[in-house]
A and B are shown apart, each in its own frame.
Chain A
Amino acid sequence: EIVMTQSPATLSVSPGERATLSCRASQSVSSNLAWYQQKPGQAPRLLIYGASTRATGIPARFSGSGSGTEFTLTISSLQSEDFAVYYCQQYNNWLGLTFGGGTKVEIK
């Protein structure tokens, strides 16, 4: 099983600032990496797939980068609605799908 490790567990950021979230895979997943946002009481929402492609309707302030084992989600200028928990997920092959443990982005 591929293990996904996210860091930091919690990120304190002021509105308008930049947030950088990391996700590391225990082995290469190529670019088969997605990011989700989850707000309290809601189901997760797809943000990014293919490591860097924004899903439909996702604002341009969200961007993803990386390949292989190291990935980054960047939120260029945090808005109030962006404070949430973010998960990465690898979907590299038929051996299984795995999520990272999540990064909570909170207001500083």
Chain B
Amino acid sequence: EVQLVQSGAEVKKPGESLKISCKGSGYSFTSYWIGWVRQMPGKGLEWMGIIYPGDSDTRYSPSFQGQVTISADKSISTAYLQWSSLKASDTAMYYCVRPFHSSGWWDYFDYWGQGTLVTVSS
């Protein structure tokens, strides 16, 4: 059974750094891209970016380029989303997602993590 299990909720202060994780299981982690989607409180879904754990090829939405860093450690089947300096506007639920197809990243997502709530407040 394919599963994406994310790390727990975080409460941080503005300016702090953060790295959240998403562990994939039940499939070949290095054969599928894995991405991140943001959902701000009461708002819609926004695609942030995606990584191919097999070779760490990474693509970002223009809206998030330079704002976050996506990485992966294939030895432990885990993808990461990190911030170097959080802002209050980063407060949101973050989902990791896996595309349906193993080839290409411009795809629909059939597997979603349970979400990680990040709260940034002074």
B77 to chain A, nearest CB (A): 19
B110 contacts the other chain (CB 8 A): yes
Per-residue interface assignment for chain A, residues 87 to 108, with 1 indicating a CB less than 8 Å from any chain B CB and 0 otherwise: 1010111101111111000000
Residues of A23-51 whose CB lies within 8 A of B: 32, 34, 36, 43-46, 49
- Chain B residue nearest to A43 in the complex (CB): B112
Instruction: Give chain A's interface residue range (CB within 8 Å of chain B).
Output: 20 to 34
Per-residue interface assignment for chain B, residues 80 to 119, with 1 indicating a CB less than 8 Å from any chain A CB and 0 otherwise: 0000000000000001000010001111111011110000
Chain A to chain B contacts (Cβ below 8 Å), 22 pairs: A32-B106, A34-B108, A36-B45, A43-B95, A43-B115, A44-B95, A45-B112, A46-B100, A46-B110, A55-B110, A87-B45, A89-B109, A91-B106, A91-B107, A91-B108, A94-B104, A94-B106, A96-B47, A96-B61, A99-B44, A99-B45, A99-B47
A: which residues have CB within 8 A of B?
A: 1, 32, 34, 36, 43-46, 49, 55, 87, 89, 91-94, 96-102
B: which residues have CB within 8 A of A?
A: 44-47, 59, 61-62, 95, 100, 104-110, 112-115
